Structure 1
């Protein structure tokens, strides 16, 4: 069973070394627990992903352990098979910094299941020869679909009308006010990165006029700019 987050790694090699030849993400040769490599996990929210990891690794999950972080890391590092890899996420997850790497010196690889790496000290990982990877653009299409879906919902008042009916207001107040179409709208996108570009493509298919703001103009797109820099101002 291949999991999306591990199948599309955006690998950031360290300056000192690449991943060890016996990668911590290699398949175990036996299904016996003793043969499974140890994997450190911080807040993996997708249960199917976590279940898939448990088929391949002896998972040490901090957020289900009930232990303080220091005690959890000490137990992991002091085991017979200390973890060489860590799977984590951003946001409210544990920060991967010098203190954590000191606590678990066996770590050689850190994977973030999101696109961001702001919770990982990349410089410190590079200094220690610890490889770092993220999921890159794995979730970009999902985010773009969700963003456009929310726009349709708000403009067409789909969920609002549903609540109106469920509260029994239709017989009392009559028909719910009509919504507005998405097609033909002028839409401004702040930041035309990977996700922003995918949103723009979807909205263009609706017939929307796209305007974007970015640190610099994107030569590869035909959308208009609405950005300010060094006194220059784009227009719709």
Structure 2
């Protein structure tokens, strides 16, 4: 209990606002690496996932590659790319690793969201004369948004925890305090930094949970879940007119 008190005392100490790496700056670096990596991963994975979900092509390849990416040893890969890229590109080396870690969850959320939609909804759209692009953008994407946000949520939580290892190659972030505290046996600093990381993860998790709640399309004044009812077909299809 004393260690927990000391950890919170370390977090809220005025000394955290000064020094070589103030705590607010470390938090900003941590979030910048997290959001930057997830954004890049989303730009890559979401279009691919939508293509797979809409056409049904390449699913096996995507599942295989996603499984392989999940098995990558993050710390080892960061060090390897750091040695290959050089000191001047250490941030880029770390971001590449975090992007690779984020892609599988986002990709799965993108294509699973479309695959989960009741086929009768899609057929209703085609019966009303909608083009494939209209079906994708006006039916599949809105109805699959909840699962996509779930994929983004999972990827963000994984990356925000893994970004801690970026300090190992001197990038900064909250992992800096953990690596600094280990040789000095500053357990209050190690636990304090860990608490801040957990708090960031919980805050981001709550934000995505809120987004997911409002991502379910409305039909006839109430929310419906994609793939559970065919009554969404007329409402989803009518948005094309």
User: How does the TM-score come out when normalised to structure 2?
Assistant: 0.22
Find the structure with the greater CA-based Rg: 1
More strand by share: 1
Q: Which has the higher contact order (CA 8 A, sep 6+)?
A: 2
More helix by share: 2
User: How does the TM-score come out when normalised to structure 1?
Assistant: 0.23
